[in-house]
């Protein structure tokens, strides 16, 4: 029987061995970010509620319906971060990172984010994102770099089905005219009351309506892509060229709108077709007015948030499709390569030292604890996933050897105790 408690509804939790995969996937991202010059940021999990109201936008579902907001003991309204971008920009400005050297400020972070959504597979109330932002420059090469980091990471995980959807949402010069045009078009449609209200507040979001009856009517809607100003068009064409130069495939998706209000120009989403309704495994874009919106200086930026939970689901979906003989495309480093089994008290002390020595030498090693008998200990060895077992009995100690057993073949050979580490290093590298 478990305890009387369960985690609250909709929390995405990871325990081993799945959590080992989660961690390795994040580590792979950390390496990609480092290689591209992005520094790590560890930041607030809750923020002043107004940061999200002003940054993400009050008309968005995220802010109007999904925030975990509470009043603290000092009467302040605080909110568990529903996303990272507004907080990252707040932190960059608060710590003056934009004044300390060249721009853009390049940072990444990761951790849980919180949205009060209806939980289902791939949609959680506590979920995990990898977030990367380049703040302070308006250069199509930065946009392409940011997108390339995400695609390179997906590729490094062995994911082959990820699609990149690309669009431009224009700028503060061309979007207002387009917005008015779109509103005119939408007001002429047969829509329910809530959607009619949305036309007045956030008409672009109507384009994202998934209901067939609405979709049908949207067929002839004006698209931002056809109404970009000259600068936005040139900017977007350059981003597309640069992605082409890098060999990154993308799909122009003029209907792509994002759920958060701060986006301008380049916007993109990563989609995985095997995940059904939760196919959006990552998304991002440019947010050139966000800094001013939260009371900062003019500081254009671009970034993305990648959903770790959905990436894990995508990895599992693709793995299930591969044949059993194929190597997994991506696997965490093993937690145990060698499992040691002491038989008797004297052996236990020797094995304890031996295992410590193996770990110092960079070999993942574990041992049987609690004076287990051979049979039970060997079961543990098999369960550990180790390639080799080391078995040490009283007689071995007198002879100065340890039995090295290959757990796949069952073959067992004595190895001089003094050579254990070097022998295992050699055998593991084969
Ligand atoms: P977003 O599209 O709201 O963007 O979220 C990014 C990713 O987080 C989604 O593509 C999805 O994979 C994952 N995600 C979102 N909500 C959930 C959920 N309830 N359960 C599981 N996964 C979820 C942002 O958050 C922006 N801040 C991204 C960004 C960074 N734009 C510029 N910089």
Per-residue pLDDT tens digits for 110-120 = 999 999 999 99
Residue 7 buriedness (CB in 10 A; 0-12 / 13-18 / 19+): exposed
Q: How far apart are CA 420 and CA 423, in angstroms?
A: 5
What's the gap between Cα 243 and its chain centre? 22
Contact 195, 211 (CB under 8 A): no
DSSP 8-state secondary structure symbol assigned to residue 53: I
For position 302, what pLDDT does the model report? 98
Q: How far is the CA of 289 from the centre of ligand 1 (A)?
A: 19
Q: How far apart are CA 155 and CA 159, in angstroms?
A: 6
Beta-strand pair 412-416/401-406: antiparallel
Helix axes 193-201, 175-187, angle to 10 degrees: 160
Residue 287 tokens read as 């947010």
DSSP 8-state secondary structure symbol assigned to residue 399: H
Ligand 1 lining (C-beta closer than 6 Å): 83-85, 115, 117, 122-124, 127, 129, 131, 133, 259-260, 280-285, 303-305, 307, 309-310
Q: Helix, strand, or coil here: 339? A: strand
Q: Is 263 flagged in the annotation as binding?
A: yes
φ/ψ of residue 8, rounded to 5: -55, 160
Which residue, by CA, sits nearest to atom 5 of ligand 1? 305
Spatial CA neighbour of 163 closest among 142, 143, 141, 147: 147
Residue 268 tokens read as 């993109």
Q: How far is the CA of 119 from the centre of ligand 1 (A)?
A: 15
Spatial CA neighbour of 133 closest among 43, 59, 208: 43
Q: Helix, strand, or coil here: 99? A: helix
| 125 CB neighbour count, 10 Å cutoff | 20
What's the gap between Cα 225 and its chain centre? 29
Q: How far apart are CA 284 and CA 303, in angstroms?
A: 6
Q: Is 163 flagged in the annotation as binding?
A: no
Please confirm whether the linkage preceding 17 is cis (ω < 30° from 0).
yes
Bridge partners of 391, per DSSP, are 341, 403
Q: How far is the CA of 91 from the centre of ligand 1 (A)?
A: 19
Q: How far is the CA of 361 from the centre of ligand 1 (A)?
A: 40
Q: How far apart are CA 105 and CA 332, in angstroms?
A: 31
Q: How far is the CA of 175 from the centre of ligand 1 (A)?
A: 23
Please confirm whether the linkage preceding 104 is cis (ω < 30° from 0).
yes
Q: What angle do CA 313, 317, 318 make, to 5 degrees?
A: 120
Bridge partners of 414, per DSSP, are 403
Q: How far apart are CA 414 and CA 391, in angstroms?
A: 9
Q: How far apart are CA 421 and CA 354, in angstroms?
A: 8
Q: How far apart are CA 203 and CA 171, in angstroms?
A: 16
Q: How far apart are CA 223 and CA 207, in angstroms?
A: 9
Name all domains of the chain by residue range, CATH numbers in brackets: 18-174+228-321 (3.30.930.10), 338-428 (3.40.50.800)
For position 1, what pLDDT does the model report? 64
Residue ranges of the chain with pLDDT lower than 50? Answer: none
For position 209, what pLDDT does the model report? 87
With the most atoms of ligand 1 within 8 angstroms of its CB, the residue from 256, 305, 306, 309 to mutate is 305
Q: What angle do CA 213, 166, 289 make, to 5 degrees?
A: 100
Q: How far apart are CA 48 and CA 329, in angstroms?
A: 42
Q: Helix, strand, or coil here: 130? A: strand
Which residue reads 């993942």 in tokens? 364
Q: Tell me the H-state helices in 207-276.
A: 212-218, 230-245
With the most atoms of ligand 1 within 8 angstroms of its CB, the residue from 82, 262, 283 to mutate is 283
For position 328, what pLDDT does the model report? 76
Which residue, by CA, sits nearest to atom 3 of ligand 1? 259
Question: What is the gyration radius of the CA atoms in the chain, in angstroms?
Answer: 27
For position 59, what pLDDT does the model report? 85
Q: How far is the CA of 247 from the centre of ligand 1 (A)?
A: 25
Count of residues making up the chain: 430
User: What digits encode the pLDDT tens for the residues 234-273?
Assistant: 999 999 999 999 999 999 999 899 889 899 999 999 999 9
């Amino acid at each position: 029987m478990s305890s009387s408690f369960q985690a609250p509804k909709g929390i995405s939790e990871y325990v081993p061995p799945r959590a080992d995969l989660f961690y390795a996937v994040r580590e792979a991202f950390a390496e990609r970010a480092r290689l591209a010059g992005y520094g790590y940021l560890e930041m607030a999990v809750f923020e002043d509620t107004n940061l999200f109201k002003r940054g993400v936008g009050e008309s968005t579902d995220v802010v109007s319906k999904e925030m975990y907001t509470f009043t603290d003991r000092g009467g302040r309204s605080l909110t568990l971060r529903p996303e990272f971008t507004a907080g990252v920009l707040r932190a960059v400005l608060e710590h003056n990172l934009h004044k300390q050297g060249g721009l853009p400020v390049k940072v990444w972070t990761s951790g849980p984010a919180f949205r009060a959504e209806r939980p289902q597979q791939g949609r959680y109330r506590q979920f995990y994102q990898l977030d990367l932002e380049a703040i302070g420059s308006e250069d199509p090469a930065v946009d392409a770099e940011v997108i390339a980091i995400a695609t390179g990471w997906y590729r490094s995980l062995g994911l082959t089905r990820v699609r990149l959807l690309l669009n431009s949402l224009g700028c503060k010069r061309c979007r207002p005219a387009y917005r008015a045009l779109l509103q005119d078009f939408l007001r002429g449609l047969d829509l329910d009351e809530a959607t009619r209200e949305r036309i007045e507040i956030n008409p672009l979001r109507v384009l994202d309506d998934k209901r067939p009856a609405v979709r049908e009517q949207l067929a002839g809607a004006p698209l931002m892509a056809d109404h970009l100003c000259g600068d936005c068009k040139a900017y977007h064409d350059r981003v597309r060229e640069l992605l082409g130069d890098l060999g990154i495939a993308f799909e122009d998706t003029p209907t792509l709108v994002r759920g958060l209000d701060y986006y301008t120009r380049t916007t993109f989403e990563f989609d995985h077709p095997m995940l059904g309704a939760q196919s959006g495994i990552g998304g991002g874009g440019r947010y050139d007015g966000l800094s001013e919106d939260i009371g900062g200086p003019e500081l254009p930026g671009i970034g993305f948030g990648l959903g770790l939970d959905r990436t894990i689901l995508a990895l599992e979906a693709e793995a299930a499709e591969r044949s059993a003989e194929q190597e997994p495309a991506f696997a965490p480093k093993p937690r145990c390569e060698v499992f040691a089994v002491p038989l008797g008290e004297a052996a236990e002390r020797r094995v304890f030292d031996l295992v410590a020595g193996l770990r110092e030498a960079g070999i993942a090693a574990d041992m049987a604890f609690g004076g287990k008998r051979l049979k039970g200990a060997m079961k543990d060895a098999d369960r550990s996933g180790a390639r080799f077992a080391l078995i040490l009995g009283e007689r071995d100690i007198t002879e100065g050897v340890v039995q090295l057993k290959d757990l796949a073949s069952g073959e067992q050979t004595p190895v001089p105790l003094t050579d254990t580490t070097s022998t295992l290093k050699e055998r593991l590298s084969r």
